Amino acid sequence: MKLIILFASMTGNTEEMADEVAEGVREAGIEPVVKNVMDASGHELGEYDGIILGAYTWGDGELPDEFLDFYEEMDGLELSGKKAAVFGSADSSYAQFGKAVDILKEKLEELGADVVAEGLKVELNPSDSDKAACRALGKKVAEALA
């Protein structure tokens, strides 16, 4: 089983989350591919059984610029049968808290993926309990592939 974790992170919070998500995937016995979304193309997703996307929220509840090409490349993909989840750091002082997580989750569902965990939104830098939630998310997706 192959699982990929793709993330965008400007100040490192979402990247820290990605590291913990990866650890949770490993706990379930799968070695994930972990990449910055800028080094990935939407078409690659077809190669994987598990897809976990991480993005901070930008602008007024928008996807980060780094995610835009990838998001467009996802159009038309057929992701049925794949297990997926989404996470991201955000800031509750903004009206659209963690909206990028919702945008990516909707996209995955629209393309037929089975999103097996609630979108995980973390306030700024992940706390110890947030990190545990990240590991649990990774583990949940990996275990759904068994």
Ligand X SMILES: Cc1cc2nc3c(=O)[nH]c(=O)nc-3n(C[C@H](O)[C@H](O)[C@H](O)COP(=O)(O)O)c2cc1C
- Contact residues: ligand X, CB under 6 A: 9-14, 56-61, 89-91, 94, 96-99, 124
> Within a 10 A sphere around the Cβ of 38, how many other Cβ atoms?
14
> Within a 10 A sphere around the Cβ of 65, how many other Cβ atoms?
12
Write down the least CB distance from residue 107 to ligand X, Å: 18
Toward ligand X, which CB reaches closer, 77 or 119? 119
Toward ligand X, which CB reaches closer, 58 or 67? 58
Toward ligand X, which CB reaches closer, 48 or 67? 67
Toward ligand X, which CB reaches closer, 30 or 53? 53
Write down the least CB distance from residue 99 to ligand X, Å: 6
Write down the least CB distance from residue 25 to ligand X, Å: 19
Asked if residues 42 and 73 have their Cβ atoms less than 8 Å apart, the reply is yes
Write down the least CB distance from residue 75 to ligand X, Å: 23
Angle at 50 between CA 87 and CA 31, to 5 degrees: 95
Q: Which structure tokens are listed for 98?
A: 């963690």
Angle at 139 between CA 116 and CA 20, to 5 degrees: 115
Place of tokens 């972990």: 34
